[in-house]
Amino acid sequence: MSRIPASSPRLPSAAASTSPPPSSAPLVLLHGWAMSPAAWAPLQAELGARPILAPALPGHGTGAPCPHAPGLAGWTDALAATLPQGSTGAIVVGWSLGGLLALELARRHPERVARLVLIGATARFVADEAGSPGLDADVVEGFRRGFATDPGATLKRFIALQCLGEADRRRTQQAVGAALAPDADRFPPDPVLADGLAILADSDLRPRLGEIHPPCLIIHGENDALMPLAAAQALAAALPAAELRVLGGSGHALPLSRPADCARLIEAFLQ
C-alpha cells in the first residue's frame, strides 16, 4: 500500500507483473449509486486516447440496461450484455456500487474483464458483528427506509457523507450534486434505483474473492467516511492480484475530487 498526498505531481508506479492490455481494450466506467455517467467527466478529461464507455447503471437514467432479475447477479448480467465483444476483455473501472458490480462482473464473466480498477469500493458495504469494516448497519438501514419515504432528503445525507474528508468539501459537494442520476429524488422512488441501495446493503462477495483473478488496482481515500480505509485494505489482501493506492486528504468522491491523480494511477497500472 502506498499513500499519495493531497497534492502529488509524481505518483508511484502501479505497474502489474502481467503484460499490459492492448491499447484497443476499452475502459468501462461504472458509477456509484444514485449517480450518473456525468460523474466520470472529470476523469475522462484526464485519461488518454483509449476507448471509453460510461454506461448508466440500471435505474439510473435513459438508456440504462434493464435487469431480468433484481439483485447483484441480475444487474451484473445486464451490464455484461452491453460490453463490447472482443478477445482482450475490458478494463473495468468501478466506483462505490460500481466497484461491487465490477467485482461480480469479473467473477461471473471473467472473459469480459482484462483488469479491474476499484475506487472507494469493497466486497461488503455493511460492517458486521465479527468486526469486518464497513458502513454501520443502522446507517445503511436508515438510508433504505429514508429513500422509500423521502428520497430528496436521503440523497442530501448521502452526498454529505460522500464528501466528508475532502480537502475542498464544498466544491466536491457541488460536483457530486450536479452528477446525480436524473430524477433520483423523485417520489415515489424508482424501484430499480431502490434495488441498487438493497444491493449495497445485502451483497457480500468476501467468500468469492478468491475466484476473481484479473490484476486489480484499488484506489481509496484516506478519509473516506462512507467506506473506511480498512475495508479497502481487507479487499486488497483478499484478492489474488491486487494493489492498493491511498489518496491522502480525500474522502469517497475521488472521481470528482481527485480525477488527475486517479487518471495517473490508472495510466501507470495499464503500462
Residues annotated catalytic, as ranges: 96, 224, 252
Buried b (16+ CB within 10 A) or exposed e, 193-223: bbbbbbbbbebbbeeebeebebbbbbbbbbb
Q: What share of the chain is helix, strand, coil (3-state, %, to 5)?
A: 40, 15, 45
Distances in Å between the alpha carbon of 21 and those of 26, 172, 268? 10, 32, 12
Contact 28, 92 (CB under 8 A): yes
| DSSP state at residue 246 | E
CA distance 206 to 228: 16
For residue 46, give the C-alpha cell.
484526464
